[in-house]
Structure 1
Amino acid sequence: MSRWRWVWRLLSRRLWFRAAAFSVAAALLALIAPVVAPLIPYTLGAKIGADAVDNILGIIASSMLAVTTFSLTAMVSAYGAATSNVTPRAVALLVEDSTSQNALSTFLGAFLFAIVGICALSTGFYGEQGRVLLFAGSIALIVVIVVTLLRWIQHIALLGRVHDTITRVERAGISAAERMQHRPRISGLAVAPVPAEAEPVRCTGRIGYVTNIDVGELGEVMGDCGGTVHLAVLPGSFVDPGRVLAWVVGGDEEVRTRVADSITVERDRSFDHDPRFGLIVLSEIASRALSPAVNDPGTAIAVLGAQLRVFDKMAQVEGQPADDRVVFPALEIEKLVVDACRPIGRDGAGHVEVAVKLQKMLAALAGIAPDWAAAARHAAEDAKARARTALTVEEERLAVARAFEDWPD
């Protein structure tokens, strides 16, 4: 994704951005009435008094302020519930929720529309014809408010709940998998050889996670110098000033500087281009559910299903990077499977239903992607050994062992 598109994507997700845009649009709508007023028949304007419009705007202003305050309180409560009951890493997806942002923006914009309209009416800014347009805008705004409020009531009932958060993280992981350049591979085939004459590009003065790589900019830079760049990192990689970001064949110091600038490093990890982060967050949700304080193995079982769907999407990715001059390292399937399954195998070893489901999920993964079977079987053996130690009833141990033995040959 290009650097400017990435910046716009981050900016448009901010909670204040959409609210500010709606508010400005509402204020402009209220102020544009006198400009369009000459198009309104004078006789129609005479039938609508200033009091009628003023009363409607007063009701909108007073009610929308209360609804906006309630909405903010509900959203903050949902964020707190997600932090306590799910995982703090998933809260970013709740903050970026478009339905919540649209509802809050609509309520705040309606409030500002009413305030601007009341102030303009009190100063005589609108004539009789202008009041007609303001009246029509107020009626249309009421319809929008009612529809938004009905949607918001349904949405707030689920916001921040465990199932809703699992679904959001799963969707984020699947979206990130769809943006991958190529399918994950086993470690022996994961990294392309770097030419001996390649020069390193280091992460100077930055510590954090890679969140975006501007492939278009890298292709343009390599096209200008006639070289190639072998990336040493992927979105989600943790980097420090001594870490090599890429190896460049051809070009000078300016080229290497442009390559470094094309790799965005931020303090926090992002879901957008990092399916591995989605799998990790899903495993955190399962670990929280399996803690003695929560003791909810059903949530862990739901997480395993969500992880399998993310893996399935990753297995469907085909093709190579869009630009042959930009060489990406592949995600290593062994690391993905370990990140997704080891925490659940560890914390769910004492729950036979979770241990059996984990065996079935890994067997299904091996069936979906046969070249990943070795990594899945290794994780299954590790989970079986943990369950044998943690389970105290022999029948439960045998159930896990039978689930492992049912693997396809």
Structure 2
Amino acid sequence: MKKKLIISYNRIREHLWFRPFLFCLLSVAGALIAHQADGIGINDIVPNIDKESIGGLLDTIAASMLVISIFAVASMLSAFSSASSTATPRSFKIVVTDDVSQNALSVFIGAFIFSIVATIALDNGYYEKAGRFILFLFTLILFAIVILTFLRWVDRISRLGRLEHTINQVETVASKSLSAYIKNPSLKALTINGIFPNENAVMANSIGYIQHINLEDLQSLAEEFELKIRLNCIPGKFVHSNFAITHFVMDKNKDIDIDNIRKGINNTILVGQTRLFDEDPRFGLISLTEIASRALSPGINDPGTAIQIIGSHERLFFLWNKEIENSNETEVVYNRIEVPEISMEDFFDDAFRPIARDGADNIEVMLRLQKALNSIATINNLDIKENVIRNSRDAYERAQKAINSEHDLNILEKQCIFKNE
């Protein structure tokens, strides 16, 4: 249940209206709570704040905040459009959840709502002496928050949607999901081992990408009916109605409604039309590589961005090195479920193959790619080392066909790790 709530919250907070809505509720509550000060006996010790001075301050906030809120929305939409067109449309989900921008818009709209509610209450005699004083303090605090938020937001909006900032945001999100995967590649379940009977297949009930698998509920289902379940998918996998997402076997021959079990298993697997970054470690790598491929297209011709992306990939692959240094055995929590792991070949193909293909004729990009592979090869992981050699060879062979200069090829060849193995 807790996991479901977290997933639902993450989806809701991606909407632009969510935080402004929360701030509006807080603003209304703040304007009304000030009235409670009239009943706690502090009228004799607080200064008498003139109603007109509070009203003037509230009118100023009301008049300015609506204009600034409209300006903020327009600026954010422009940044979102820029991120989608200059980077990749997949980055939109990340840019739209920018905390600073959403908080700024929320404060601006919340301040506007506060001023309207407080003005109406003030004009209708809702506050006495103590209430007016507390309302005045709330208004001053809100005014200070608005100014500080606006200054911070101006700095962020100047960078929001810019290509370099978008790359950093995508890399940060990719790093979180990839780190979580490296720590628990089998998602705290069992890794696939041995032959598994295929007679009880569970077909997907919709077409799309696996977005989330509720292993906790799946484990409970397996314990209830004494099942062993083998997943045939993980988040990021595209499935269709003829695809077996799982197979299961029963510990004992029991009279169980198989269709009911299939329905229960399907209910634990969320399928959507798009991939999500949260639990899909490959999606971050793919999104970064899409930015590099766009930059290497003839119409844009920006090899510097591709080189920057290669650096991002290098940092992400070194997360395996960090995990090796802090390696601990992962506790198996879901002992009735087997989960497939992502092959290292898929990670490398997502990160480097499109760049090697689209940047094959650019010596600077190819040199940076080979140097990055040399760096990644220092990680104490045999699987990584094998894929480094494979990708190094593939990139060099592509460059051989695209680069006409023998001098450039000789320089590139010296950087190829597969030549030294």
Same fold (TM over 0.5): yes
- Residue 312 of structure 1 deviates from its aligned partner by 2.2
Do residues 102 (structure 1) and 113 (structure 2) align? no
- Residue 19 of structure 1 deviates from its aligned partner by 0.7
Q: For the residues of structure 2 that align with 1:166 and 1:198, how far apart are their CA atoms?
A: 46
Do residues 324 (structure 1) and 335 (structure 2) align? yes
1:357 to 1:40, Cα distance in 2 relative to 1, 3 A: farther
**Alpha-carbon deviations, 1:243-272, whole Å to 9, x = none?**
111111226432332211111111111011
- Residue 2 of structure 1 deviates from its aligned partner by 2.5
**Alpha-carbon deviations, 1:126-170, whole Å to 9, x = none?**
223221111110011011112211211121121111111111111
Instruction: Say which SS state the counterpart of residue 209 (structure 1) adopts.
Output: strand
Do residues 285 (structure 1) and 286 (structure 2) align? no
| Aligned partner letter, 2:299 | A
1:334 to 1:183, Cα distance in 2 relative to 1, 3 A: farther
Query: What count of residue pairs does the alignment treat as equivalent?
Result: 404
Instruction: Say which SS state the counterpart of residue 92 (structure 1) adopts.
Output: helix
**Are the equivalent residues in 1 in contact too, given 2:14–2:93 (CA < 8 A)?**
no
Do residues 265 (structure 1) and 268 (structure 2) align? no
Q: For the residues of structure 1 that align with 2:303 and 2:406, how far apart are their CA atoms?
A: 20
**Are the equivalent residues in 2 in contact too, given 1:192–1:329 (CA < 8 A)?**
no
Structure 2 residue aligned with 1:146: 147
**Are the equivalent residues in 2 in contact too, given 1:184–1:314 (CA < 8 A)?**
no
1:406 to 1:264, Cα distance in 2 relative to 1, 3 A: closer
Structure 2 residue aligned with 1:392: 404
Match of 1:363 among 369, 374, 396: 374
Matches within 5 A, 1:216-255: 216-250=216-250, 252-255=258-261
Instruction: Say which SS state the counterpart of residue 377 (structure 2) adopts.
Output: helix
Match of 2:389 among 377, 386, 396: 377
**Are the equivalent residues in 2 in contact too, given 1:183–1:330 (CA < 8 A)?**
no
Do residues 337 (structure 1) and 337 (structure 2) align? no
**Are the equivalent residues in 2 in contact too, given 1:230–1:327 (CA < 8 A)?**
yes
**Are the equivalent residues in 1 in contact too, given 2:360–2:399 (CA < 8 A)?**
yes
- Residue 376 of structure 1 deviates from its aligned partner by 1.9
**Are the equivalent residues in 2 in contact too, given 1:183–1:314 (CA < 8 A)?**
no
1:405 to 1:331, Cα distance in 2 relative to 1, 3 A: closer
Instruction: Say which SS state the counterpart of residue 127 (structure 2) adopts.
Output: coil
Structure 1: runs of 5 or more not aligned: none
Structure 2 residue aligned with 1:210: 210
Structure 2 residue aligned with 1:35: 36
Matches within 5 A, 1:26-175: 26-39=27-40, 41-43=42-44, 47-175=48-176
| Aligned partner letter, 1:148 | T
Q: For the residues of structure 2 that align with 1:270 and 1:63, how far apart are their CA atoms?
A: 37
**Alpha-carbon deviations, 1:35-63, whole Å to 9, x = none?**
22222632466621110100000111111
Q: For the residues of structure 1 that align with 2:182 and 2:370, how far apart are their CA atoms?
A: 29
1:125 to 1:215, Cα distance in 2 relative to 1, 3 A: same
Structure 2 residue aligned with 1:24: 25
1:203 to 1:24, Cα distance in 2 relative to 1, 3 A: same
- Residue 184 of structure 1 deviates from its aligned partner by 6.5
**Are the equivalent residues in 1 in contact too, given 2:192–2:338 (CA < 8 A)?**
no
State the identity %.
33
Q: CA RMSD in A?
A: 2.1
**Alpha-carbon deviations, 1:47-86, whole Å to 9, x = none?**
2111010000011111111111111111111111111111
1:145 to 1:311, Cα distance in 2 relative to 1, 3 A: same
Q: For the residues of structure 1 that align with 2:352 and 2:158, how far apart are their CA atoms?
A: 31
Q: For the residues of structure 2 that align with 1:14 and 1:407, how far apart are their CA atoms?
A: 50
**Alpha-carbon deviations, 1:164-194, whole Å to 9, x = none?**
1111111111111122276779xxxx95344
- Residue 18 of structure 1 deviates from its aligned partner by 0.9
**Alpha-carbon deviations, 1:102-126, whole Å to 9, x = none?**
1110111001000111111122222
When normalised by structure 1's length, the TM-score is 0.93
| Aligned partner letter, 2:285 | L
Q: For the residues of structure 1 that align with 2:419 and 2:137, how far apart are their CA atoms?
A: 67
| Aligned partner letter, 2:167 | I
Instruction: Say which SS state the counterpart of residue 179 (structure 1) adopts.
Output: helix
Greater shift after overlay, 78-87 or 318-327? 318-327
Instruction: Say which SS state the counterpart of residue 32 (structure 1) adopts.
Output: helix
Structure 2 residue aligned with 1:295: 301
**Alpha-carbon deviations, 1:314-341, whole Å to 9, x = none?**
4627645532212110101112211211
Structure 2: runs of 5 or more not aligned: 251-255
Structure 1 residue aligned with 2:10: 9
Do residues 348 (structure 1) and 359 (structure 2) align? yes
When normalised by structure 2's length, the TM-score is 0.91
1:51 to 1:74, Cα distance in 2 relative to 1, 3 A: same
